[in-house]
Amino acid sequence: MKLTSDQKERYAKHIIMKSMGEEGQKLLLESRVLCVGSGGLGSPVIQYLAAAGIGTLGIIDDDVVEISNLQRQVIHGGNLGKPKVGSAKEFVERLNPDVTVVAYKMRMESGNVEELISDYDVVVDCSDNFATRYLLNDACVLHNKPLFHGSIFMFEGQVMTILPHEGPCYRCIFSSSPSTDAAKTAGVMGILPGVIGTMQATEVVKYISRLGKPLVGRMIYYDALGMRFDEITVNKNPKCPVCGETPIIMSIDAENY
């Protein structure tokens, strides 16, 4: 593709960086990214990926905008009661006409995950529950799709990049889901998802435009109260049930989620 004069002006601060240039920007404009969730983490991810010029941005969410969301879900202001995917689509279209938004007002489940991720180059996990995290991890590992993970809890967050067959997956660290989702009742500092979400978006842009070193085999842990970032080395688990030497998860079975 050839950049238009408007695109050269819009993405000038990208293009003047020698490590990215026009070729890196073209890669972004030709890419297809699926964002699972358009809430706390999804809001900054969607905002910054759209601003960066991701060509096609898929957004999946089955929820509607509630007033309690607005403390952290910054792209949904003024859209109370509207489906979040519709609100997010409106936001992106106002921000950047280069981006095509595909909105899925549904919940990602075992019956649709493989079809949904098949249309995209990479997947960003902005979900708010363990079942979806494990489902996405397993589907992306089985189908060799890059997955960009982020999660938040009260004042803490974590980010890691999962490139199947190159490094550890989510199950290498957390082999099975906890019995309860404590995060849903614990609350979260409103600014926290902005920090974690922009880190996820950074990893996506780096990966697509072939910049820098991805967070493979490393997890970044952020403590907002202590204002501290820690890097945790993560190794592949040879006994991992999905990417280990003798995996037992060979397909997406609804009973596992």
Q: What is the mean pLDDT of the chain?
A: 94
CA dist 180 and 33 (Å) reads: 30
pLDDT at residue 178 in the model: 66
pLDDT at residue 204 in the model: 98
pLDDT at residue 180 in the model: 58
Pick the CATH number of 31-256 from 3.30.420.10, 3.40.50.2300, 3.40.50.720, 2.40.110.10: 3.40.50.720
pLDDT band at 256 (very low <50, low <70, confident <90, very high): confident
pLDDT tens by residue, 55-101: 999 999 999 999 999 999 999 999 999 999 999 999 999 999 999 99
Cβ-based neighbour number of residue 177 at 10 Å = 16
Whether residue 45 has pLDDT greater than 60: yes
CA dist 120 and 25 (Å) reads: 18
Q: Which of 52-61, 169-178, 189-198 has the lowest mean pLDDT?
A: 169-178
pLDDT tens by residue, 107-117: 999 999 999 99
pLDDT band at 257 (very low <50, low <70, confident <90, very high): confident
Please state the rounded mean pLDDT for residues 4-33. 97
pLDDT at residue 255 in the model: 75
The residue with greater pLDDT, 252 or 177, is 252
Task: Count Cα neighbours of 27 within 13 Å in the Cβ-side half-sphere.
Answer: 17
* Contact (Cβ atoms closer than 8 angstroms) between residue 137 and residue 164: no
Whether residue 182 has pLDDT greater than 60: no
pLDDT band at 183 (very low <50, low <70, confident <90, very high): low
Please spell the DSSP secondary structure of the chain, one letter per residue.
----HHHHHHTHHHHTSTTTHHHHHHHHHT-EEEEE--STTHHHHHHHHHHHT-SEEEEE---B--GGGGGT-GGGTT-TTSBHHHHHHHHHHHH-TTPEEEEE-S---TTTHHHHHHT-SEEEE--SSHHHHHHHHHHHHHTT--EEEEEEEBTEEEEEEE-TTTS--HHHH--S--SS-THHHH-B-TTHHHHHHHHHHHHHHHHHTT-S---SSEEEEEETTTTEEEEEE----TT-TTTSSS-S--S--GGG-
pLDDT band at 197 (very low <50, low <70, confident <90, very high): very high
Please state the rounded mean pLDDT for residues 163-191. 82
pLDDT at residue 175 in the model: 77
Could you tell me the pTM of the whole model?
0.94
Please state the rounded mean pLDDT for residues 110-128. 96
